[in-house]
Amino acid sequence: MKKLISVGICLLIILSTTFCLTACKSRTDEMVDLEIYTTKQMTKTKKQVIKCINKQDKEGLKKLFSKDAQKHIEDLDGKLDQLIGAFNGNKIESAKGLSPAFEGSADAQPLHIYGEYRLTINSEEKYRIYISLCDKNDEESDKEGVFQIELRTFSREESPRDFSGGAYQDDYGVFIYTLQNYPKK
């Protein structure tokens, strides 16, 4: 009888361990899949933004913004003109950044994705661009799309000591910071 109870307990321990390991693995796989998905979505959006800036295509850039952001950003056309004008006709040669950050999940919407990229212009890293987009929102589809672009026209090394960062990450808008107009502490 003792052997039977011991075998039963061992079998339960093995089954529970197996169940726990497979459950953890599937959660890990889900997170990896979500990271791959968000990276692809942000890479696609980044390429579209850069293409529009390089072609000076204000209307194309405007279409990337969500319908809700287009309604709530005051003077969006003027701000997009300023964004494109900040490059003085120079082309963005490359944009390098880390994997984007995200809030939400495929199950818990909305899914917001945030990307930061160092831009190379004329073979020199000079500017940084931050792009925020809402990728999924089944309940409010008019909020899907880019809702914020922030451009800093100075490198990290040139950042003033009293630079307190730019806009809040969930603000709607197009924000352009130069060494003359950066937000101070």
Q: Which residue has the tokens 């197009």?
A: 174
Asked whether residue 86 is domain-assigned, the answer is yes
- The answer to whether residues 152 and 166 touch, using CB atoms and an 8 Å cutoff, is yes
Q: How far is CA 14 from CA 18, 21, 23, in A?
A: 6, 11, 14
pLDDT score for 37: 87
Q: How many angstroms separate the CA atoms of 93 and 58, rounded?
A: 19
pLDDT score for 8: 66
Asked whether residue 182 is domain-assigned, the answer is no
**What's the structural domain count of the chain?**
1
pLDDT tens for the chain, 185 residues: list them: 666 677 667 666 776 666 665 555 565 666 677 788 889 999 999 999 999 999 999 999 999 999 999 999 999 999 999 999 999 889 999 999 887 888 876 667 788 889 999 998 887 768 999 999 998 888 889 999 999 999 998 888 888 888 877 777 778 999 999 888 777 76
pLDDT score for 61: 97
pTM for the full predicted model: 0.79
pLDDT score for 102: 82
Q: How far is CA 11 from CA 8, 19, 56, 68, 94, in A?
A: 5, 12, 67, 56, 57
pLDDT score for 179: 84
Q: How many angstroms separate the CA atoms of 44 and 49, rounded?
A: 9
**CATH number, position 81:** 3.10.450.50
Asked whether residue 184 is domain-assigned, the answer is no
Q: Which domain holds residue 7?
A: 2-177
Asked whether residue 49 is domain-assigned, the answer is yes
- The answer to whether residues 168 and 150 touch, using CB atoms and an 8 Å cutoff, is no
Asked whether residue 149 is domain-assigned, the answer is yes
Asked whether residue 15 is domain-assigned, the answer is yes
H helices present in the chain, as ranges:
2-54, 58-64, 67-72, 76-85
Asked whether residue 25 is domain-assigned, the answer is yes
Asked whether residue 151 is domain-assigned, the answer is yes
